[in-house]
């Protein structure tokens, strides 16, 4: 766990048989209007919530969980989080929100083979990832939350309803699994993925000024070289054509 800057906390994922996403908590502590970005993998609530509390954050100050997207490694822990923080709302992009509300778990598991494997391994039943979504995002929103302003950017490709959160003043980008450090990008072969859209999304992110990159997995980048995301898009272009 670490404080990236005032208003941004990072809790590193702890990969299991399958990856566990990082979790970020955004918003200034004194605002008591905090937001958790992604929940992580099943069974990973305890250490994440303890880490958050060790930083002096009261769990009830977490007013919402915003999903960068709803793959299992990001949403698997949501039932546990909702149990521990019953007042927290769930916000997600409208496309994946519709699936969550209908109990359509194709995006959660990404592919049938993976679904069977995970359900067996973790004892998950059909339909447990059915949730009501309190706020459906579409991209283009400017969220004034926790004493900060975060822009929502719809960046489909890795999944249909992937979003990034961007703090323009601080030049912080939280892109989910769309782009990582070390010129890596998220996979683009799962349910709802689209390589062309992934390419467009990378290029749109490439237009932003980004100093701090906080992706869903692997290392975070505190000093992003200028042009980094565009260069990543260039390198991947031939595979996304």
Residues found near Zn ion in the complex (CB under 5 A): 21, 71, 73, 177, 216
CB count, 10 Å around CB of 82? 17
Give, in degrees to the nearest 5, the angle at Cα 162 between 158 and 165.
130
Minimum Å gap between C-beta 94 and Zn ion is: 18
Nearer to Zn ion (CB atom), residue 28 or residue 114: 114
Q: DSSP letters along 170-209, please?
A: TTEEE-TTSB-STT-B----STT--HHHHHHHHHHHHTS-
Minimum Å gap between C-beta 226 and Zn ion is: 26
CB 115 within 8 A of CB 160: no
Nearer to Zn ion (CB atom), residue 80 or residue 177: 177
Nearer to Zn ion (CB atom), residue 175 or residue 216: 216
Minimum Å gap between C-beta 162 and Zn ion is: 8
Minimum Å gap between C-beta 176 and Zn ion is: 7
HSE toward the beta carbon, residue 234, CA cutoff 13 A: 6
Show the tokens assigned to 45: 């609530």
Nearer to Zn ion (CB atom), residue 44 or residue 71: 71
Nearer to Zn ion (CB atom), residue 29 or residue 70: 70
Minimum Å gap between C-beta 208 and Zn ion is: 20
Using the structure block, give the residue that is written with the tokens 């009501």: 132
């Amino acid at each position: 766990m670490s404080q990236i800057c005032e208003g941004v906390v990072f809790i590193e994922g702890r990969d299991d048989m399958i990856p566990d996403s990082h979790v970020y908590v955004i918003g200034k502590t004194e605002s008591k209007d905090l937001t958790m970005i992604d929940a992580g993998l099943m069974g990973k609530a305890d250490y994440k919530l303890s880490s958050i509390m060790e930083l002096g954050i009261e769990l009830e100050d977490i007013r919402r969980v915003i999903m960068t997207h709803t793959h299992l490694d990001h949403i698997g822990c949501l039932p546990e989080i909702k149990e521990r923080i019953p007042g927290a709302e769930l916000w997600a992009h409208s496309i994946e929100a519709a699936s969550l509300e209908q109990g359509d778990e194709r995006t959660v598991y990404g592919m049938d083979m993976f679904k069977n494997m995970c359900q067996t391994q973790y004892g998950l039943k059909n339909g447990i990832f059915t949730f009501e979504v309190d706020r459906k995002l579409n991209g283009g929103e400017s969220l004034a939350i926790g004493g900060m302003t975060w822009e929502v950017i719809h960046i489909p490709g890795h999944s249909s309803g992937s979003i990034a959160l961007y703090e323009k003043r601080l030049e912080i980008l939280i892109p989910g699994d769309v782009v990582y450090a070390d010129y890596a990008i998220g996979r683009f072969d799962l349910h709802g993925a689209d390589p062309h859209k992934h390419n467009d999304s990378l290029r749109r992110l490439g237009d932003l000024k980004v100093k701090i990159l906080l992706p869903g997995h692997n290392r975070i980048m505190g000093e992003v070289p200028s042009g980094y995301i565009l260069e990543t898009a260039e390198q991947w272009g031939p595979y996304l054509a």
